[in-house]
Amino acid sequence: MNTRITELLGIEYPIIQGGMAWVAEYHLASAVSEAGGLGLIGGANAPGEVVRDYIRKTKERTDKPFGVNVMLMSPHADDVAKVVVEEGVKVVTTGAGNPGKYMDMWKAAGIKVIPVVASVALARMVGKAGADAGGAEGTESGGHIGEATTMTLVPQVVDAVNIPVIAAGGIADGRGLAAAFMLGAEAVQVGTRFVVAKESIVHENYKQRIIKAKDIDSVVTGRSHGHPVRCLRNQMTREYTQLEQEGKSFEELEYLTLGALRNAVVDGDVAHGTVMAGQIAGMISKEQTCKEIIDEMMAQAEALLKGAR
Ligand code: TUI
């Protein structure tokens, strides 16, 4: 399954790990890269120096390609954008915004730039600005999301741009990978399944919450003020939804969730913390190594696509 994406990034398999806040640190990123996919360090809201340290620790663990996700709403985005250049990172993905202002700097440094977008309009814009590939992320994803589904967004983005497209949102096995290829994608981004990987450092409670999740356990908070975030239903989401319905301001609600993702990932408080996960959580049933996940996805997708040809 060699594609323009595997070629561009120098990876063995068309599987890219999501740049998930707090979750995508150097243990996970290096394990995914070692298994032949593209591991990502999630910059999230971390200061530039923390990301620099993670980049160096990833390099100690793997000689294979890896990338950094720059979360554009972060107060440290400018610093992280410079750190990736200084540290010679080869691949950058971006989320939660338009990376236009960093494109020239990154391209001049020879970085392969992959903005993750949730609309055709932004996909066109980043294509014109010189992006090397585009991530098309459906609303099935965990975390900060757009409105369109993966099934509808991916073919529309494929038609709108000339660069190769990576499908994201709702993909966690070989069936999803094969389906994404049928929609015209040339790689997939996988988040939630890697959260429960053996090498993932998230708290055991968080992993168990995903493993036990049912199809209908996924909810979206923050729609009313334009910051939709998908996570698993718990006491926090019930309180949040209640306050949202009462018309509480964004600032008041932010106070409720401040540090809430960290509380869930690091401390294992899956009742009051934010348990970000995609809608596919209901299908994920066990902890496996990154290599087992990637090998299983590839074998299943290859068998399906052989039958489809
Ligand atoms: O970025 C993501 N997923 C994320 S970022 C994140 S950290 C966070 N947590 C809470 C609130 C906000 C951020 C958790 N998950 N995925 C890529 C993605 N980008 N999905 C949607 C978008 C997006 C949305 C609006 C990209 C651009 C955009 O507008 C751009 C513009 O300026 O027109």
pLDDT digits (tens, 9 = 90+) for 254-308: 877 778 999 999 999 999 999 999 999 999 999 999 999 999 999 999 999 998 7
The per-residue pLDDT for 262 is 95
DSSP calls for 30-60: HHHHHTTSBEEEE-TT--HHHHHHHHHHHHH
Domains in the chain with CATH codes: 4-201+285-308 (3.20.20.70), 214-276 (no CATH)
Q: Distance from the CA of 121 to the center of ligand 1, in angstroms?
A: 15
Mean pLDDT of the chain: 97
pTM: 0.97
Q: Phi and psi (nearest 5°) for 8?
A: -60, -40
Task: Provide mean pLDDT across the span 9-28.
Answer: 98
Q: pLDDT tens across 227-238, in order?
A: 899 999 999 999
Strand pairing of 218-221 and 134-137?
A: unpaired
Give CA–CA dist 158/37, Å, rounded.
22
Task: Provide mean pLDDT across the span 126-133.
Answer: 98
Which tokens belong to 91? 């691949």
Q: Is 40 left (phi over 0), alpha (psi -120 to 50) or beta?
A: beta
Whole-number percent of the chain with pLDDT over 70: 100
SS3 state at 245? helix
The per-residue pLDDT for 301 is 98
Q: Is 90 left (phi over 0), alpha (psi -120 to 50) or beta?
A: alpha
Pocket mutation for ligand 1, best pick of 103, 144, 192, 230 (most atoms within 8 Å of C-beta):
144
**Residue 109 CB-density burial (10 A; 0-12 exposed, 13-18 middle, 19+ buried):** middle
Give CA–CA dist 236/285, Å, rounded.
24
Q: pLDDT tens across 84-109, in order?
A: 999 999 999 999 999 999 999 999 99
Shortest-distance atom of ligand 1 to CA 142: 15
Residue 309 has pLDDT above 80, yes or no: no
Q: Is 143 in the pocket of ligand 1 (CB under 6 A)?
A: yes
Give CA–CA dist 79/216, Å, rounded.
39
